[in-house]
Structure 1
Amino acid sequence: MSAARARWRLALRMARRDVRRSKGRSALIAAMVGVPVMIVVVLTTVIATDDITAEENLPATLGQAAARVSVVGGGAVTQDPEGIAGGTGAGESPWGTERPPASALQEALPEATLVPVRAGRTTISRSRGAVDVLEVDVAEPATEGLVMLSDGRLPRTGDEVVVSPGLAGDDGVQIGDTVGLGGREREVVGIGTYDSVATSPGRHSLVTVPGSGLLDDADVFTDHLVVRDAPVTWDDVKRLNRLGFMVVSRSVVENPPPKSAQYPELVEWDRHDAEREVLAIVVTAIVLQVVLLAGPAFAVGVRRQRRDLALVAAAGGGPADVRRAVLAQALLLGLGAGALGAVLGLALSPAIVALIPRAVDDTVLGPYDVMWPAVLAAVVLGAVAAFLAALVPARQVANQEVSAALTGRPSRPGRRNGWPLVGLALVAVGLALCFTRGVRPGGEIAVASGTIAVVLGTVFLTPLVLAGVGRLGRALPLPLRLAVRDTTRQRARSTPAVAAVMATVAGLTALAIAGASDFEQERRSYTFAYPLGTTMLSEESGPVDTAAQAAGEAAGVTFTPIGTAGQRGSDAAGEGWIDVAVETEDWGRWDTREVAVATPEELAGWGIELTPEQGETLRTGGALVAGPSLLDGDGRVTLGTYEETSDGASEDLRTVALDGSAADLGMGAVPQGREPVVALAVIAPQTAQAQAIPYERSRALADSTLTAQQLRDVRASLREMPGLQSTWTERGFQETFTLQLLLLIGAGGIAVLIGTLSATGLALVDARPDLTTLASVGAGPRTRRAVAAAQAVVLGVLGAALGVVVGFAPGLAAARPLTTDRWGALEGSPGGPVIDIPWAVLVTLVLVVPMIAGAVAAVATRGRVPLTRRLAQ
């Protein structure tokens, strides 16, 4: 056995004995190491479960097929090996920019069998809304796995369907029920989902088989499953890309090609980079917290072991042997606590993964997955963090006076003021990172990295700060004076305790400032669509007139409809639109380019009063515009009509020039921002017909503010009508930041309490001789409790105040890109940034929470201590 191995074996035996003898201190250190490890394990498990990889999703994407091919069109395609990222623009395909013909895929893969998979949307009578539809021949073996059933069976005929859990839950549909689809009743034979192995609780979808007729009149996207014995290789994928197809290949997903063979423009793109960087920063911050919190515990433990360690030195052991004895305890506790924390994290993770989708709306997680490398890394990092936390105490005890330790005399407290130059350099680097890269869009990683640099720099400066605080304590009352003196003298113990609180509060301060500023920017930028309290009724499936009359009769008010120029339609790729807009370069002062179609009487119902001249302009075929700048030099306004397809392409159809007149088209004053206008221009219905301008009467406005009962009456009347109607009341900006502030206060308060009370307990253990001396000269139990409370208040206030100061700059830096509205600045309105400081949160963390910690410390502290003999010094 080598000498080094023998020495470490002896050190570990001593460490095991000391851990058993000091169970309370060992449990405290284990909690400080194990809890962060547990948090990391739970966090990484949730992230791994949330991240559904392409390989995990292969059953829902391909079934049992070798590949799935989608028609893209628009030229040749580039894509990543997973078939997730990519697009057109890589050159022309044999069909130019047109979509490949239906026969092109079979010609490209003559030996393969192609199974069509059609997807679209249809309307279900029970919900009177659109739902997603998958039409596939589930009898084909290649489609096995595409549909994931939670109950029932797959459809066999066109009169049977499988519905999603969200649709079944919202509409009360059960297996065996019938639903009206496509003009006839269909039986629900199963409940299940498709497209993803993760179940979306709110998705409304259904599955049917070919021949059902559900997608005959709908906009349909058709993919094809490729069934063949040979795998679809990366070369096959690239060949199909050149023809205008996007491909998901089982072989390529399971065995990705080298980066040298991939498309160069997509090699550098990795959708997981940001997640990895954020995770690395979170883990680094947690390790830093462990070091700062466990450091004082090791320091106090070492003081309690001074005599034992001095015996090692007296028996011939060198400083290295003494250091090794302390570091062995750190390794033993770090590995044990890390392993226990990982086990607890793995035990809690399934329950948390199951709870998150139920507790958080619209949250979908995939199959339970554990990131085993991260679990192992968390355990190792816990041991490393404990080892680092014990380095300074081990070095100090190795250099102690052996005679003083053996006789019980206290050693002279250290007076080092840290590494101020290194601290200043780190603070400067962190601030530079925050206010250069951090203020740019997407600079969250730079801000987080800069925050850690500033925190580390402040840790090096903390002893210097404590030395300055000590000079200010002379005028304080006795308990506070004792606490300040002890904090200043015992900097080896006080510095990490104060720094731990500071690091936590700094991160929360940065989050609070950035979050509050972002919320304030959203509040200021809210745009009123209608005057406050106005209720608007809309109809998506036809004219709104009948619904407006029924709603008005139910509520005892008048709903006035108007038309909007333009028309919903459809194209070969899906849903398209015909838009009509005012042709002008000066529309930045308004939030719309719409053209309304209405009579003067209908405009009056929307709060717009016209002069006789303006009414005459409208009746004689002219147009009213919201401002004189919308008219050309001849007093005419130009309306442009163009078609926009579902794939984003647009085509100018024609323009119409009309005589115009400026009018006040505002609907009334609003609390903030621009006055909403009914449209940028208004024409009469007969003008729209004469100029062949399509329009839809899909909106109606109530002439007065509706009460809650009137709104219920309106909705009740609409439930009895065919079609798809909705109501919306302009209530202004309704979001609040209260919950976020309470969460920040709660998280920060708990962190400050834990850090402060832990450090206070350690400080009281370390200061027991001083408290014994106080008791011997007549100090009562109340004084001891006051000293304990003062110790907690001093540590809490110092740490929280430093944290607020440190977190201020990263918070301001993070707020700039979050609240800078570049589009608003281009239009001439204030573009930000918006800075809002949540003083209530900061004051609570700096003053209220330390006071609570002081009260807890006073209550939990014993009033009487046993008197012990003090040696002469």
Structure 2
Amino acid sequence: MKTWLHSWRAAIRIARRDAWRSKGRSALVLAMIALPILGVSALDLTYRSSELSPAERVERSIGAADARFKDATVGGVPIFQDPAGEGSTPVKDYKDEPWPSGSIDVTKAIPAGSTVLTDRTGSAKLTTTHGLLMTEVRELKASDPIARGIMTLLEGRHPEKDDEVMATSHFLESSGLSVGSTLSARNFDRPYRIVGSYELPDSLDADQVNALPGAFLAPYGKAVEKAGVPAPQDSVSYLVRRPGGFTWNTVKEINTKGVTVVSRAVLLDPPAKSEVPLFQKEGFGGYESSQAASAADLASLATVVGLAMLEICLLAGPAFAVGARRSRRQLGLVGANGGARSHIRAIVLSGGLVIGLAAAVTGIVLALILTLVLQPVLEDTMGQRFGAFDIRPLELLGIALLAVLTGLLAAIVPAFTASRQTVLASLTGRRGVRRSSRVLPVIGLVALLIGGAVALFGSMVSEQVALVAAGSALAELGVVAMTPTLVGLFGRTGRWLPLSPRLALRDAVRNRGRTAPAVAAVLAAVAGTVAVTTYMAGREAQNRAGYEATLPYGVAAAFVQEEGGRDVPAVREAVQRDFSVDVRADVERVSVGKPGCPPWGGDPGCGRYEVVVPPANECPLNVTAPGGGNPAAQYTPEQRRKMLTDDWRCKESASGGMWVSDGGLLVGDAKLLQVLGVDDPATVKALADGKIVAFNRALVDRNGAVGIKQITDIAAADKASELGRPAPGKVSSVPAYLVPGDKKSYGVQALMTRATAKAAGLSTVPMGVYASTDRLPDGEQRQKLDSDLAKLGSNVELHLEEGFVNEYGIILLSLAIFAGLVTIGAAGIATGLAQADAEADLKTLAAVGAPPRVRRTLSGFQCGVVAAMGVILGSAAGLLPAIGLRLTEQREELRYYEQSVAEGWTADLTPPDVPIVIPWETLAGLLVAVPLGAALLAALVTRSRGALARRAAT
């Protein structure tokens, strides 16, 4: 034991000395290992620091209060809630009855003797230096001790008067205002002075303004209603403090009054799942995550870590091999003085141990420093403040051990290779005759065949995607194992090459221990890139084939649904000003109730409308069956298929496109028909004659009219809908003209003029604009329009039809660049090591009269040869998993399609198309540009002349 310890102690000292003498090579390997350790350590520190403890979460949620009370809006019926107070449901099941709704007075559920602080939240369009900004307004006395921890004061002070507010730092930055500025709201001219700046620790990017209770929302709501616009809805909760707090039993007792409670005591000490009635109801789960999901996450993490370690080992292995070869005389002296092969292995392995320890210390220390320095940047990126800076020593120790293990694994093969050298060969520097292992290629071939068979089975027979991934990984490892043999096969092409590339290829083949790992590293990087790009190219082709335009090409549409279309004229002018508009069509919508009502109704004095579908025109598959449930389930699959194929009422509407309004009804003129590409003169004449133009046959009744129902009693309509009955309301019948043919209308089901709507007793309000452009707007025009619309403070729905846009394009380009950088890096490493290893050969070339440029040319071809071999093998290896995954998706979609056809849920007789597309552009870039770029880069950074030295005595 003592002898073993002393031998390893000496080996570590020798390895440390060699690492210090070869600073360049050591720094290269250290950087390769330390960079991933730096990233993983920084990620661990960031994740753990941002992961709040229960006490920190409670403080940011309810401050110093013992609980937050809030109305569950179920009319006060008893409820079940989860311990966090995030989910609730009535105790009683309302399957065949209307769901309870309505508000209650929450203060009646607060126990006597409690201290209560009101927390009310609403929204308003506030004036800024740029225009208007929709902002959350919170009425909470932030200076109260109960609210401590919810907001963090950054500058100034808390509001003390009703005309004072404070604002989040993000709002001040977005609005251009500052502490001391004055702001007001639209339709509300009362000025408020900003006296302070604060932040919400859990939401740093929130635009929020804080006022005293009752100082803003109530008077603002009255002013808005006076202007004829419905007041925005607000929500209120109550921060409660009382001696003894609120236990889980107390929370359940308060739940019987229809109130949810977020309790400090419950959050800090949650009850068992069996004690939560909500989790016992069908359809509600517990806190535990799925074990299968956790196992899958761990498997994914282990796979990523394993592949990263493999890549590092493949890249670092040649460095240790060259280091061992440069130290072969020293290792020979160890053997000559009685050292065993185990001692030589220990010396080389100690090199990996020393580099691994240095990389671990360097990576973890840099991670600590960078995380501390970049903490504000990380917090701003995540949008929340850290809790305590959390350092987990055991986790960092595990990461450090991973670095040490990586270093040892990278040195294993060079260690065994060095130990097999004879003492004489090591002392004389002769390499002798070395044969490649005959066992490793066989193992690699077997792994390739088994992996390919598993991936094929997973894609053609099984439905497990994991089989495809596992088989592909095994096949790739098999190719890696076969790399030395494949490198030898590449060497046979050297007879047709000129001198410099022939020398480079011969050198790569003769030194497979150095070349094969570098080629394998390139292979692994390129295989992953090719697999992802091939898969994404297939998805892109599938998405392109299934793409459906929402508007005619080059047409823009902008809608404003709020405040009765008050900002619509400004939106129309902005579109006309910023885009190259050819034809502009202004549109309006039908409004029921007082002016300013939203289209969905719901506000006091507001209603909504429906485009009536005559009962004779309704598809039987959509008619509610007796007793409720799925209407189509009452028919057999054969009946459903027949209806979908033969009954025009059930065929999919040809209009498609985007949602424009309820029932697809718009109010406009013939310009809209022109923008939508409808050039039928009869349709234009019918619209001018006061008829409603219908694109959907189901809307027109037997009298040739379209019915529009005005619903004023929203509550009665909702109740009727729950019972499966028609909503009560006044129906206006408008003569209609059905557009002939199967013309695509892009979501517009019916169109009428304002005069037609007025004659039918329908009120209209501005809604938006359609605009065709003579050329697509460029980036500058879009940014200008976005800026102009942002100044209005309204929620503008903007659509611009650009045709199909490949969302994977930037990803494919990024992956290709990444693979190219890794490939050039790996090839450069191999070339640098080859130069160090082949210095004697280069000096021999210079001695026999080779021109200086030969050295530079040879270096470039050495790098290009390694890159080319790796790219070719990686491209072939990367196609297998991508094709396997696409075949698996094809089987899944085909099975779903066949099941839908068999059950009569679809009438589409065209099977799904899941194409397999080879990204030839990416492959061409990798096969040509990367080796060429690697060769040119290596040639540029290599000196033409090397230092001459005397021949060593033998």
TM-score, normalised via structure 2 length = 0.76
Partner of 1:381: 402
Provide Cα deviations, 1:534-578, integer angstroms capped at 9, x if missing partner: 454544422478658977998999854333346626888999984
Residue 223 of structure 1, CA deviation: 2.5
Q: 1:208 to 1:88 in 2, by over 3 A?
A: same
Tell whether 2:49 aligns with 1:39. no
Partner AA of 2:693 in structure 1: L
Once the 2 structures are TM-superposed, how far is the Cα of residue 848 of structure 1 from its aligned partner? 1.7
Does residue 347 of structure 2 align to residue 266 of structure 1? Answer: no
SS in 2 for 1:428: helix
Alignment of 1:169-318 (within 5 A): 169-181=173-185, 182-194=188-200, 196-200=201-205, 203-215=206-218, 216=221, 217-234=231-248, 247-256=261-270, 263=279, 265-269=285-289, 279-318=301-340
Question: Structure 2 matches for 1:79-478, cutoff 5 A?
Answer: 86=87, 88=89, 92=93, 97-98=99-100, 102-103=104-105, 107=109, 112-126=114-128, 127-181=131-185, 182-194=188-200, 196-200=201-205, 203-215=206-218, 216=221, 217-234=231-248, 247-256=261-270, 263=279, 265-269=285-289, 279-350=301-372, 354-355=376-377, 364-367=383-386, 372=392, 374-416=395-437, 418=440, 419-421=443-445, 423-424=447-448, 427-428=451-452, 431=455, 435=459, 452-478=473-499
Q: Which amino acid is 1:175 matched to?
A: V
Alpha-carbon separation, structure 1, partners of 2:784 and 2:835: 67
Match of 1:580 in 2: 610
Give the aligned partner of residue 13 of structure 1. Answer: 13
* Paired residue secondary structure (1:197): coil
Secondary structure of 1:266's counterpart equals: coil
Higher mean C-alpha deviation, range 532-541 or range 44-53: 44-53
How far does the alpha carbon of each residue in 1:120-148 deviate from its partner, in whole angstroms, 9 at most, with x for none? 22222444343212221224311112122
CA displacement at 1:208 relative to structure 2:
1.6
Kindly indicate whether the alpha-carbon contact (under 8 Å) linking 1:299 and 1:492 is maintained by their aligned counterparts in 2: yes
Output the CA distance in 1 between the equivalents of 2:893 and 2:375. Answer: 36
1:744 and 1:841 in contact (8 A); partners too: no
Map 1:484-563 to 2 at 5 A.
484-515=505-536, 527-536=548-557, 538-539=559-560, 540-543=562-565, 559-563=584-588
Quote how far apart the aligned CAs of 1:101 are.
5.7
Q: What are the superposed Cα offsets for residues 226-269 of structure 1, whole Å, 9 maximum, x if unpaired?
A: 32343544555566667665554444444555667674723443
Query: SS of 1:472's equivalent?
Result: helix
Cα deviation code 1:367-420 (max 9, x no counterpart): 285664554333221111011111112122223323322333214324125222
Q: Is the 8 A contact 1:219 1:570 kept in 2?
A: no
Letter of the 2:410 counterpart: A
Q: What SS does the aligned partner of 1:471 have? A: helix
Q: Does 1:653 align with 2:724?
A: no
Alpha-carbon distance in 2 for matches of 1:210, 1:298 = 70
**Residue in structure 1 matching 2:598, options 568, 582, 590:** 568
Shift in Å at residue 793 of structure 1? 0.8
Amino acid at match of 1:598: V
C-alpha separation in 2, matches of 1:612 and 1:161:
60
CA shift in 2, pair 1:548/1:140, >3 Å:
closer
Residue identity in the other structure for 2:831: T
Contact 1:38–1:344 (Cα < 8 Å) also in 2: yes
Other structure's SS at 1:562 match? strand
Pick which of 484-493 and 702-711 moved more: 702-711
Residues 126, 184 of structure 2: 8 Å contact kept: yes
Q: CA deviation at 1:782?
A: 2.9
Q: What residue number does 1:759 align with? A: 830
CA contact (8 A) 1:153 1:189 kept: yes
Structure 2 runs not aligned, ≥5 long: 222-230, 592-596, 619-649, 901-905
Shift of 1:834: 5.8
In the TM superposition, residue 77 of structure 1 has moved relative to its aligned partner by 6.7
- 1:447: how far off? 7.8
- State whether residues 49 and 366 of structure 1, in contact with CA within 8 Å, keep that contact through their aligned partners in structure 2: no
Pairing 1:598-747 to 2, within 5 Å after superposition: 598=667, 608=678, 623-628=692-697, 631=700, 653-654=727-728, 660-663=736-739, 675-677=744-746, 679-683=748-752, 696-702=765-771, 730-732=801-803, 739-747=810-818
Secondary structure of the corresponding residue to residue 158 of structure 2: coil
Task: Check if 1:58 corresponds to 2:129.
Answer: no
Are 1:420 and 1:464, in contact at CA under 8 Å, matched by a contact in 2?
no
Greater mean deviation of Cα atoms: 179-188 or 557-566: 557-566
Contact kept, 8 Å, 1:150 with 1:191, in 2: the verdict is yes
Partner of 1:22: 22
Give the drift of 1:792: 0.7
* Residues 50 and 214 of structure 1, relative CA distance in 2, 3 Å threshold: same
- For residues 248 and 512 of structure 1, do their structure 2 counterparts lie closer, same or farther at Cα, with a shift above 3 Å needed? farther
Q: Give the C-alpha shift of residue 498 in structure 1.
A: 0.9
Task: Give 1:795 deviation, angstroms.
Answer: 0.6
| CA-based RMSD | 4.8
Relative distance call for 1:694 and 1:227 in structure 2 (3 A) is farther
Separation in 1, partners of 2:120, 2:565: 31
SS in 1 for 2:482: helix
Q: CA deviation at 1:680?
A: 1.0
**In 1: Cα distance, 2:604 partner to 2:311 partner:** 54
Distance in 2 of aligned mates of 1:855 and 1:551: 52
CA distance in 2, matches of 1:562, 1:88: 42
Deviations 1:749-808 (A, max 9, x none): 322222111111112222334444444544443333332222111111111222222233
Partner of residue 646, structure 2: none
Q: Do the aligned partners of 1:817 and 1:833 also contact (CA within 8 Å) in 2? A: no
Offset of 1:663 from its aligned partner? 0.8
Letter in 1 for 2:313: V
**2-side partners of 1:827 and 1:50: how far apart?**
51
Provide the rounded CA distance (Å) in 2 between the counterparts of 1:410 and 1:292.
Answer: 23
Select the residue among 945, 949, 954 that pairs with 1:863: 945
Question: How far is the alpha carbon of 1:433 from its aligned partner?
Answer: 9.3
2:929 match: 848
Give the match for residue 671 of structure 1: none
Distance in 2 of aligned mates of 1:142 and 1:446 = 56
Question: Secondary structure of 1:863's match?
Answer: coil
Deviations 1:482-508 (A, max 9, x none): 332332333322221111112222223
1:702-732 CA-to-partner distances (Å, cap 9, x unmatched) read 5875998999999999999998878765555
Contact 1:625 1:665 in 2 (8 A): no
Of 171-180 and 156-165, the range deviating more from structure 2:
156-165
Give % identity: 28
Listed as ranges, the matches of 1:808-823 within 5 Å are 808-812=879-883
Say whether the 8 Å CA contact 2:133–2:793 is kept in structure 1. Answer: no
